[in-house]
């Protein structure tokens, strides 16, 4: 039962942070769009508003790194790690209680992804 209780506590904490990240990110995107609207004049028709915003996204698109490699060590590590988890699960029952915690790890990974977004935004604000 201890595992269930620990997982439940983790679950509640992670869920709150996760939902907070979604809210913050949603507000951020919404704010950027509003700023773009304000920049282009509030009475603009919808298509023009989007065009203003899209010019920025186009610029970003073209500035994508040309030499980006498609290979990723993280991908390889995740495949090996998942296979190892399954292999170990066949060796001892002890690990079975730990495997479900990795599922909460997926939610934590999304939180980390949001935090990268926020960090990049902060950095770009400072640069501006």
- Judge contact between 116 and 21, C-beta under 8 A: no
Question: Per rule CB under 8 A, is residue 123 in the interface with other proteins?
Answer: no
Binding to other proteins (CB under 8 A) within 52-111 occurs at 53-54, 57-58, 60-66, 68, 70, 72, 74-75, 77-79, 81-83, 85-87, 89-94, 96-97, 99-107, 109-111
Of the candidate residues 38, 43, 116, 126, the single one contacting other proteins (CB under 8 A): 116
Number of CB atoms found within 10 A of residue 22's CB = 13
Nearer to other proteins, 91 or 126 (CB): 91
- Confirm or reject binding of residue 35 to other proteins (CB under 8 A): no
CA distance 84 to 4: 24
> Is 99 in contact with 88 (CB distance < 8 Å)?
no
**Least Å from the CB of residue 74 to other proteins:** 5
- Please give the full DSSP string across 57-74, using - where no structure is assigned: HHHHHHTS-TT--S--HH
Residue closer to other proteins (CB basis): 72 or 127: 72
Cα–Cα dist 82/77, whole Å: 8
Instruction: Tell me whether residue 3 or residue 41 sits nearer to other proteins (CB atom).
Output: 3
Identified binder of other proteins from the candidate list 114, 122, 126, 128, rule CB under 8 A: 114
- 51 lines the binding site for other proteins (CB under 8 A): yes
**CA separation for the pair 50, 33 (Å, rounded):** 9
């Amino acid at each position: 039962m201890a595992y269930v209780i620990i997982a439940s506590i983790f679950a509640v904490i992670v869920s709150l942070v996760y939902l907070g990240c979604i809210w913050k990110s949603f507000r951020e995107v919404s704010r950027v769009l509003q700023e773009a609207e304000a920049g282009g004049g509030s009475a603009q028709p919808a298509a023009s508003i989007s065009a203003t915003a899209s010019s920025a996204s186009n610029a970003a698109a073209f500035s994508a790194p040309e030499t980006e490699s498609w290979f990723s060590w993280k991908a390889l590590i995740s495949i090996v790690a998942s296979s190892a988890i399954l292999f170990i699960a066949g060796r001892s029952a002890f690990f079975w209680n730990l495997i479900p915690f990795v599922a909460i790890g997926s939610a934590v990974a999304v939180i980390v992804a949001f935090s990268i977004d926020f960090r990049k935004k902060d950095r770009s604000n400072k640069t501006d």
